């Protein structure tokens, strides 16, 4: 496989040329550096919306992020927090954070970005009746409010202590929007325009056809590497690859496993594969299924699965086994150790738990969410059968599946994958607290509940690391899920494409991407 690492030698060699051209407008820069004037990226579907706050999918978030920006951002490779529209931030007390804003920034419509923009945007995300993604990343129960100290300083107050405010403000759903242009749209969704401060200006969105972004000549930061980005909408995965083989697209998103070999064998094409941070597991309904309330049964199910066999044979080796509830790249994640593949141990534990003659379980899976998700569920059911757990596999389409999953409407077991919206173990670990409103399948023991509550209000980094590690270890030992794996995100691209990156949180970053000509 031709893994195209974030710092390929070629990229490093071109780094000097890129710096030399940084002061030039994007078009001249492209011409000077022997790059194409446009890059075309094929998407599997339409954007959900152009509203900077309403979308749900990471793909839509990635496209919008060309034009709109957040106060903080994250490093493409390391995920370290970095300044964006805020240049500095500090914690004043457990209930107050202060952010210094970047000066001289203008929205694409000419409005000045300042403290009023921050106040308007956060209020639109948190306080409006809109069903924004930001409310999931930063629940209104924190009681957020924005105080304007001066035009370029804001203080964010919360009713509950929140050490993760900077993390939340770096999430792609906390975009900054222009208060004057959206004055009438505070409580309404925006559907036909996209105004931000980003390196690209929104140029066109024809539903079913394409989204076009043009470089913003007045951008406050470095000009993007390519003057124009075209996001072509091609629903069929084989057609996306055909377009890549023909040369009409430069990059293909969501390259399915079945098509990877074809891309690798095509002259002039390469596969870019990055480990994703969606942590996949089988959620066990310990609260409603008596057998799963027994720790030995949950552990047995963990011992029963050969994760490496699934990853190597089904996912072509493009992934890694997961041992806990937090993806390995996330801050404060630990590796709590592997259960390994031990069917004999699984049988023994089941026998000890009183299921020597077998156990019957229903496993729910979505039939259209993950590439090869159904095949993986079939393999898992096979491993369960092998240790005497008769598994009844049930499939549902993603819309129904997701609605029922969150509302705890599945008995026994379901396959699920969690993204990490704030890049902290807190995002997933909160879900084992009985007070958490959704996914009520497993409740943590009381001691762990106290630790998790303490963790949510602990600011000291060393202390956070300590509590996070202990909590992840307990959840692993308690076998709250059947831990499965993290799989790679795969892209097909022309070999001449440079600088196209996926951040470990699945955000696609194109501002440094270009096609060599």
Partner 1 sequence: MAGYITRRLLRGVLTMLGVAVFVFGLLLLSGDPALIMSSPDATPDQVAQLRATLGLDRPIITQLGLYLGHVLRGDLGQSLRFNRPVAGLILQRLPDTIELTLAGIVIAIVIAVPAGIVASVRRGALLDRLVMAGALAGQAIPVFWLGLILIRVFAIDLAILPVYGQGGPAHLVLPACTLATIVMGRLARLVRATMLDVLEQDYMRTARAEGLREWRVLVVHGLRNAAMPIVTLLGLQLAQLLGGAVVTERVFAWPGVGSLVVEAVFNRDFPVVQGVTLVIAGIFVAVNLLVDMSYALLDPRVRQ
In the complex, minimum distance from the CB of residue 56 to partner 1, in angstroms, rounded to a whole number: 6
Question: What is the rounded distance in angstroms from the CA atom of residue 274 to the CA atom of residue 306?
Answer: 22
DSSP 451: H
In the complex, minimum distance from the CB of residue 61 to partner 1, in angstroms, rounded to a whole number: 14
Q: Of 307 and 440, which CB lies nearer to partner 1 in the complex structure?
A: 440
In the complex, minimum distance from the CB of residue 189 to partner 1, in angstroms, rounded to a whole number: 4
Q: Of 22 and 403, which CB lies nearer to partner 1 in the complex structure?
A: 403
In the complex, minimum distance from the CB of residue 219 to partner 1, in angstroms, rounded to a whole number: 28
Candidates 371, 401, 383; CA nearest to 283 is: 401
Question: What is the rounded distance in angstroms from the CA atom of residue 145 to the CA atom of residue 95?
Answer: 10
Question: What is the rounded distance in angstroms from the CA atom of residue 370 to the CA atom of residue 276?
Answer: 13
Q: Of 439 and 500, which CB lies nearer to partner 1 in the complex structure?
A: 439
Question: What is the rounded distance in angstroms from the CA atom of residue 423 to the CA atom of residue 367?
Answer: 28
Question: What is the rounded distance in angstroms from the CA atom of residue 431 to the CA atom of residue 419?
Answer: 13
What count of other Cβ atoms lies within 10 Å of the Cβ of residue 7? Answer: 9
Candidates 272, 270, 254; CA nearest to 262 is: 270
In the complex, minimum distance from the CB of residue 471 to partner 1, in angstroms, rounded to a whole number: 21
Type and span of the H or E element at 121:
helix 115-126
Binding site residues, partner 1, CB under 8 A: 45-46, 48-49, 51, 54, 56, 129, 131, 133, 135-136, 189-192, 206-209, 232-236, 238-239, 242-243, 245-246, 248, 368, 397-400, 402-403, 405-407, 437-439
Candidates 256, 217, 214; CA nearest to 231 is: 214
Residue 441, both tokens:
């399948």
Q: Of 399 and 434, which CB lies nearer to partner 1 in the complex structure?
A: 399
Residue 265, both tokens:
């064998």
In the complex, minimum distance from the CB of residue 249 to partner 1, in angstroms, rounded to a whole number: 9
In the complex, minimum distance from the CB of residue 357 to partner 1, in angstroms, rounded to a whole number: 36
Nearby residues of 122 by Cβ (< 8 Å), 6 or more positions away? 144, 146, 156, 174
In the complex, minimum distance from the CB of residue 283 to partner 1, in angstroms, rounded to a whole number: 12
Q: Of 154 and 405, which CB lies nearer to partner 1 in the complex structure?
A: 405
Q: Of 138 and 152, which CB lies nearer to partner 1 in the complex structure?
A: 138
CB burial of residue 444 (10 Å; 0-12, 13-18, 19+): buried
Q: Of 23 and 258, which CB lies nearer to partner 1 in the complex structure?
A: 258
How do 279-284 and 81-83 pair as beta strands?
A: unpaired
Q: Of 167 and 302, which CB lies nearer to partner 1 in the complex structure?
A: 167
């Amino acid at each position: 496989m031709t893994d195209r690492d974030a710092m390929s030698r070629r990229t490093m060699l071109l780094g000097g040329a890129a710096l030399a051209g940084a002061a030039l407008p994007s078009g001249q820069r492209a011409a000077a550096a022997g790059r194409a004037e446009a890059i075309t990226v094929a998407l599997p579907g339409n954007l959900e919306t152009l509203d900077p706050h309403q979308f749900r999918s990471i793909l839509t978030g990635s496209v919008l992020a060309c034009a709109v920006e957040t106060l903080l951002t994250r490093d493409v490779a390391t995920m370290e927090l970095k300044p964006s529209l805020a240049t500095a931030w500090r914690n004043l007390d457990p209930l107050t954070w202060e952010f210094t804003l970047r000066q001289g920034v203008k929205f694409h419509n000419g409005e000045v970005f300042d403290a009023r923009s921050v106040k308007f945007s956060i209020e639109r995300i948190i306080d409006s009746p809109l069903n924004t993604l930001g409310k999931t990343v930063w629940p209104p129960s924190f009681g957020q409010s924005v105080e304007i100290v001066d035009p370029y300083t804001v203080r964010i107050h919360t009713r509950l202590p929140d050490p993760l405010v900077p993390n939340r403000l770096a999430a792609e759903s906390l975009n900054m929007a222009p208060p004057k242009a959206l004055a009438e749209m505070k409580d309404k969704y925006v559907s036909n325009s996209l105004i931000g401060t980003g390196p690209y200006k929104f140029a066109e969105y024809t539903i079913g056809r394409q989204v076009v972004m043009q470089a913003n000549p007045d951008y406050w930061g470095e000009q993007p590497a390519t003057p124009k980005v075209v996001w072509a909408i091609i629903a069929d995965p084989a057609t996306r690859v055909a377009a890549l083989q023909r040369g009409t697209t430069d990059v293909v998103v969501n390259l399915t496993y079945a098509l990877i070999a074809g891309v690798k064998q095509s002259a002039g094409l390469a596969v870019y594969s990055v480990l994703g941070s969606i942590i996949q597991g089988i959620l066990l309904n310990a609260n409603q299924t008596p057998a799963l309330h027994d720790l030995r049964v949950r552990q047995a199910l963990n011992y029963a699965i050969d994760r490496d066999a699934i990853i190597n044979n089904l996912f072509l080796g493009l992934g890694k086994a997961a041992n806990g509830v937090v993806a390995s790249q996330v801050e404060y994640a630990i590796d709590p150790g592997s259960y390994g593949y031990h069917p004999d141990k699984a049988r023994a534990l089941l026998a000890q738990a009183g299921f020597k003659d077998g156990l019957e379980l229903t496993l729910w899976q979505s039939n259209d969410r993950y590439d090869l998700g159904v095949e993986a569920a079939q393999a898992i059911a096979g491993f369960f059968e092998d240790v005497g757990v008769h598994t009844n596999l049930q499939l549902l389409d993603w819309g129904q599946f997701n609605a029922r999953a969150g509302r705890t409407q599945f008995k026994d077991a379901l396959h699920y994958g969690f993204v990490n919206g704030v890049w902290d173990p807190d995002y997933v670990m909160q879900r084992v607290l009985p007070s958490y409103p959704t996914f009520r399948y497993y409740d943590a023991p009381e001691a762990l509940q106290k630790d998790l509550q303490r963790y949510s209000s602990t600011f000291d980094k060393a202390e956070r690391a300590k509590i996070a590690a202990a909590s992840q270890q307990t959840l692993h030992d308690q076998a709250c899920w059947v831990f499965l794996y993290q799989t790679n995100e795969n892209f097909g691209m022309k070999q001449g494409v440079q600088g196209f990156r996926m951040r470990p949180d699945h955000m696609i970053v194109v501002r440094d991407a270009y096609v060599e000509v």
